[in-house]
Amino acid sequence: MIGLRAAAARLALILLCAAPAPALADITARYAIGDSKLSFIVEIEDGGDSRFGVDGVFSVIRQDGIDYVVFTKPDARIVARLDDAVAALRSEMPATAADAKESPFLIGGGTTEVQVAGRAAIAWTIGPKGEQALEAAISADPELAPIGALWRRLAETALTALEGRIIPAASQFGPRLRELLAKGTVVRIGSVCELRSVDHVEIDPHRFDLPGPVASPAELREMLKPGPFTSDEVVAPDKP
């Protein structure tokens, strides 16, 4: 009898190991922004759609593999492809001449483990040599991997707009930032932002709907003419 039970247990273990892995669950991460009441929410649906929103400021929505940015002015709500918005922004920036005297950014640390929102992370620093560096805590927790991938994608988009314009190439800021983000998922950046919570509650698929028609590049340039901006009405307030 004992032999039969042991054989059955082994068979069950084999079947469990051979079964297909369950689909990735939806994931929502909430980060506090400094000492303010603002926060941003990262929402990733198991099918790949995502939303990155700073409460009261803006949102970036990924739908069917395309990133869109959504924000509002007093007289208009703007929805545009993110790559069109980056191109429009970059065209308005003067090119930055390379400065051979620019102090290159360096990465330091990597030896101290910290805890952020119950997640193990490693403390790193990034900044020019001899100057105060910015501390960043990076976690290799596999549960956070989709969030880390989103951070990297958005950082790459920002660098596309800023490198060679506001960010001098000689600073090596872009390469160092890419190197840092490749280590895992950002859970804290100095006093700028800090992870507060992560959950896997199913996300309403309508959260990834676009709130209006997508502006053409020409329409976007017209809409982005100087003028005051108001809060992004489509970013939902942080959940308690």
Write down the pLDDT at residue 146.
Answer: 96
Write down the pLDDT at residue 161.
Answer: 87
Question: Residue 3 falls within a domain, yes or no?
Answer: no
Question: Residue 145 falls within a domain, yes or no?
Answer: yes
Tokens 């890419």 — which residue? 178
Strand order in the sheet with 58-63: 76-81, 66-73, 58-63, 50-54, 39-44, 27-33, 193-199, 185-189, 134-139, 119-128, 105-116
Write down the pLDDT at residue 99.
Answer: 59
Write down the pLDDT at residue 55.
Answer: 64
The mean pLDDT value of the chain amounts to 82
Judge whether residue 5 has pLDDT over 60.
no
Q: Could you give the CA distance from residue 219 to residue 235 in angstroms, rounded to a whole number?
A: 23
Judge whether residue 45 has pLDDT over 90.
yes
Exposed e or buried b per residue across 11-23, where buried means at least 16 C-beta atoms within 10 angstroms of its C-beta: eeeeeeeeeeeee
User: pLDDT digit string (tens) for 74-118?
Assistant: 666 789 999 999 998 888 777 765 555 668 899 999 999 999 999
Q: Could you give the CA distance from residue 61 to residue 13 in angstroms, rounded to a whole number?
A: 41
* Percent above pLDDT 70 for the chain: 78
Q: Could you give the CA distance from residue 132 to residue 146 in angstroms, rounded to a whole number?
A: 31
Question: Residue 236 falls within a domain, yes or no?
Answer: no
Average pLDDT over residues 176-197: 96
* Nearest alpha-carbon partner for 204 in 236, 171, 172: 236
SS3 assignment, position 112: strand
Write down the pLDDT at residue 12.
Answer: 41
Write down the pLDDT at residue 13.
Answer: 40
Worst-scoring range by mean pLDDT, 21-35, 93-107, 167-181, 214-228?
Answer: 93-107
Per DSSP, 126 falls in state E
Question: Residue 149 falls within a domain, yes or no?
Answer: yes
Q: Who wins on pLDDT, 99 or 159?
A: 159
Write down the pLDDT at residue 129.
Answer: 83
For residues 236 and 53, is the Cβ–Cβ distance under 8 A?
A: yes
For residues 61 and 78, is the Cβ–Cβ distance under 8 A?
A: no
User: pLDDT digit string (tens) for 15-37?
Assistant: 333 333 344 589 999 999 998 88
Q: pTM (2 decimals)?
A: 0.79
Q: In sequence order, which residues have a C-beta less than 8 Å from that of residue 62 and are 6 or more positions away?
A: 48, 49, 50, 51, 68, 208
Judge whether residue 141 has pLDDT over 70.
yes
Q: How many independent structural domains does the chain possess?
A: 1
Write down the pLDDT at residue 97.
Answer: 56
Question: Residue 235 falls within a domain, yes or no?
Answer: no
pLDDT band at 130 (very low <50, low <70, confident <90, very high): confident
Question: Residue 7 falls within a domain, yes or no?
Answer: no
pLDDT band at 221 (very low <50, low <70, confident <90, very high): confident
Question: Residue 8 falls within a domain, yes or no?
Answer: no
User: pLDDT digit string (tens) for 143-157?
Assistant: 999 999 999 999 999
* Nearest alpha-carbon partner for 80 in 222, 193, 238: 222
Q: Could you give the CA distance from residue 194 to residue 186 in angstroms, rounded to a whole number?
A: 9
Q: Who wins on pLDDT, 224 or 120?
A: 120
Per DSSP, 98 falls in state P
Question: Residue 164 falls within a domain, yes or no?
Answer: yes
* Structural domain of 138: 27-223
For residues 159 and 148, is the Cβ–Cβ distance under 8 A?
A: no
Judge whether residue 133 has pLDDT over 50.
yes
Judge whether residue 235 has pLDDT over 50.
no
* Nearest alpha-carbon partner for 112 in 85, 138, 94: 138
DSSP letter string, 51-86: EEEETTTEEEEEETTEEEEEEEETTEEEEEEHHHHH
